[in-house]
Structure 1
């Protein structure tokens, strides 16, 4: 079964936290797919990943561009895994697809958004019931991740 990590954002935004986690995945040799809840959010993350740090960027593409299958990081709004990713990030309350084909899935949710909290609770119950190994991580004041469950 897939290892599913729930990341509860409390002290930073998705734009602050996501690039570092994606970068760590790439360092492990994993391809990444990031599923957003809307096209607008996908497009905003597309721009952000090119400029998120002055000395670095994360090479990626969106699902509307050609050669999606060749991308190390693919941003999408749908359930597909066009680049054959081994890790899937699900953000903005998006509905996770079948996660059975992934080594790891990361559900990131905004702790200040009630709709995201409800979606995360619903996803937790469904993924645990499906037999996935789920862990819950909450952000500390210094923006580190602490395992809570």
Structure 2
């Protein structure tokens, strides 16, 4: 599993996650975006429509019609009805089901640093997990580790 940590700093997650979603779509990857907070999912939903008008970031909500056809699926559960192998944990909270994905992205802001460190350490010594750390700088994700 490839495990990426994405520090948004002072930027709200709903404003930075679409950068990754757009890159995933350009690579023809399906993505599952998970958060327990329905308000956060609603903000991500809105931002995916509005942030890049030139790029159509088609997406939908789990439990709605045609969820299996959505390139980007927003959900409260780690169940990829759309067949995604790319999982974005928008709320920065680890779920054991995430280990079933080829690539997992953990998004967190300055407030979530301690939890991100705990998740990072959880995978110490795991040779089957490749960890990466990215930080948003000047509107771009820069790899730091």
Regarding TM over 0.5, the answer is yes
8 Å CA contact 1:35, 1:94 repeated in 2: no
Give the distance between the partners of 2:69 and 2:124, measured in 1 at CA. 32
1:145 corresponds to? 141
The DSSP-based 3-state class of the residue aligned with 1:85 is coil
8 Å CA contact 1:51, 1:57 repeated in 2: no
Q: How far did residue 51 of structure 1 move?
A: 1.6
8 Å CA contact 2:93, 2:106 repeated in 1: no
The DSSP-based 3-state class of the residue aligned with 2:142 is strand
Deviations 1:31-87 (A, max 9, x none): 100011311211221122112234344110011312211111100111211111021
Aligned length: 144
Give the distance between the partners of 2:24 and 2:54, measured in 1 at CA. 19
8 Å CA contact 1:6, 1:106 repeated in 2: yes
Of residues 105, 113, 118 in structure 2, which corresponds to 1:122?
Answer: 118
Give the distance between the partners of 2:24 and 2:124, measured in 1 at CA. 23
1:10 corresponds to? 9
2:49 corresponds to? 50
Relative to structure 1, the CA distance from residue 128 to residue 65 in structure 2 (aligned partners, 3 Å threshold; closer, same or farther) is farther
Deviations 1:98-140 (A, max 9, x none): 33332211111012x2xx2222112112234554111111222
Q: How far did residue 11 of structure 1 move?
A: 4.9
C-alpha RMSD of matched pairs (Å): 1.9
Q: Which 4+ residue blocks in structure 1 deviate beyond 4 angstroms?
A: none
Give the distance between the partners of 1:146 and 1:81, measured in 2 at CA. 28
Give the distance between the partners of 1:126 and 1:25, measured in 2 at CA. 26
Q: Normalising by the residue count of structure 1, what TM-score does the alignment of the two structures yield?
A: 0.84
